[in-house]
Amino acid sequence: MVDGYRRSGEDLMDAYQYFYDDRGRQVGYAPVGTMEWDNRDGHEHWHFTDFAQYRLLDAAGKIAIRSGKEAFCLANTDAIDYTVPRANWQPTNSDLHTSCGEQTSLGIRQVLDIGSGDTYAQYLPGQSFDISDLPNGAYMIEITANPDRSLHETDTANNKSLRPVLLGGEPGARTVEVPPVGRIDR
């Protein structure tokens, strides 16, 4: 859970993570960064900054492109795996407009529950890499959650994920193939 509180006269919020004991009582909190207003078409809500980092790596594992996508509105938009321990089968913040606030919001609470995902459609601004100048070949999309370790976690072992991508075609008619991984086929 991350709460944001608006800075006076700015499109910026200070973000805090809250900690609870086994009985649901708050036992602490810590500053974890900021939230910023994203006014691009299709977003138009508050994003928690530095939540994830996306990079396209070449076959040697070197960075080919770093994505500008780093901020998210944390909302339970999709059921991913409700069989994992402590998954919340009935998340309450599944609507972007209630979780992510309006431009005039003074404070908001964003939550991404265990078992849920926050999926952004590929057509929204900021969801892509510019591959026009890259040579054809095999690449990996590297996704790192909490890259600056600003969020407090008991285990960071699952914060990095790699996904193969094959680039082909020719200028003006590029092809992108994303082989299936596990249950994810696109």
Read off the pLDDT of residues 80-125 as tens digits, 9 standing for 90 and up: 889 989 888 887 776 666 678 888 889 988 888 888 877 766 666 6
Neighbouring C-beta atoms of residue 24, cutoff 10 Å: 6
Distance between CA atoms of residues 25 and 23, nearest Å:
6
Global pTM?
0.79
pLDDT at 126 over 80: no
pLDDT of residue 4: 93
pLDDT digits (tens, 9 = 90+) for 44-93: 788 888 788 889 999 999 999 988 776 777 887 888 889 989 888 887 77
Nearest CA to 67 among 161, 167, 141? 141
pLDDT digits (tens, 9 = 90+) for 20-43: 898 989 999 999 999 988 887 767
**CA-angle at 125, arms to 58 and 79, nearest 5°:** 85
Strands 12-20 and 26-38: antiparallel
